[in-house]
Amino acid sequence: MIIVVTGATGNVGRPLVTALADAGAKVRAVTRHPAAAGLPAQVEVVASTAEALPGASAVFLNSRALIGQLPDMVDLATRSGVAKLVALSALNADDDFSRQPSRFRGDRNKEVEQLAVDSGLAWVSLRPSVFATNFVGMWAGQIRAGDIVTGPYAAASTAPIVENDIAAVAAHALLTDDLVGQKIPLTGPQAFTNTELLAVIAEALHRPLRYQEVPADAVRQRFITIGLPAEFADAYTALLAATVDTPALVTHEVEKILCRPAETFAHWVARHPELFS
């Protein structure tokens, strides 16, 4: 069995490659920078999907890694005799695009799922919630600079999932047929407000961190100043606004599939305090 992993050095791809290799699978890892991939020695690292697909039986599809090539990749996989596609989608894939900020960073969650479903191959779509590492990108700089984190909607709710859990479910989907034909909503085991999430980080760092809500317009301007598109800022604030009065969905699919609890946000932060400090 040869399994192709696109986005192989990303937050999900890297632990997925390791999990598959540890399980004894033959892995072809697709990355734009093969020489610097730093993946397990037994993994075959290639620079293009065309190199990766001959003889492959299953493919992990990361739409951001395949931006501009996604339909061609699925078509080529079908013609190459691939038997199964596992798509990395998102919990909010069915929402209006104006509330999907990741689209403006290159994700095509709806499209990658639909291409897998329509491919005629066995398929699985993974729909994770917000990644735990997203809070590093959003908050770490402010935490290093002081004890106040500013942002929109202190009461906005999320159930962040640790990327290793997404990778473990993806490995199960690629190595078995247990999940074929399913769109699987994956979340962390608990929903938090922004205020509560920062309190978890504060406890791990032993610091008096405080979340300070600021107007959405100020957040929008901050994103634009650091080079993100205005559309990303608008989608991000719209996504959070929709959760102020509605607790985030919490599913238990990780535990059902892996027969172990999903990692908590607190445990993940305690393992990686250096990411914030």
pLDDT means over runs of 10, the chain (277 residues): 95 97 97 86 93 96 94 96 98 95 94 98 98 95 96 97 98 98 98 98 98 94 89 93 94 98 98 96
- The domain total for the chain is 1
- What is residue 36's predicted lDDT score, i.e. its pLDDT? 74
Nearest CA-CA partner of 159 in 252, 256, 270:
252
User: What separation in angstroms does the CA of 45 have from each of 75, 177, 225?
Assistant: 22, 25, 37
- What is residue 70's predicted lDDT score, i.e. its pLDDT? 95
CB 21 within 8 A of CB 76: no
- What is residue 134's predicted lDDT score, i.e. its pLDDT? 95
Take residue 66 and report the two structure tokens written for it. Answer: 């395949």
Helix/strand/coil for 6: strand
- What is residue 40's predicted lDDT score, i.e. its pLDDT? 92
- What is residue 124's predicted lDDT score, i.e. its pLDDT? 98
CATH of the domain at 151: 3.40.50.720
- What is residue 63's predicted lDDT score, i.e. its pLDDT? 97
Q: Is 7 left (phi over 0), alpha (psi -120 to 50) or beta?
A: left
Containing structural domain, residue 155: 2-275
- What is residue 17's predicted lDDT score, i.e. its pLDDT? 97
Number of residues assigned to the chain: 277
- What is residue 32's predicted lDDT score, i.e. its pLDDT? 87
Q: Which residues contact 46 (CB under 8 A, 6 or more apart)?
A: 28, 29, 30, 31, 34, 52
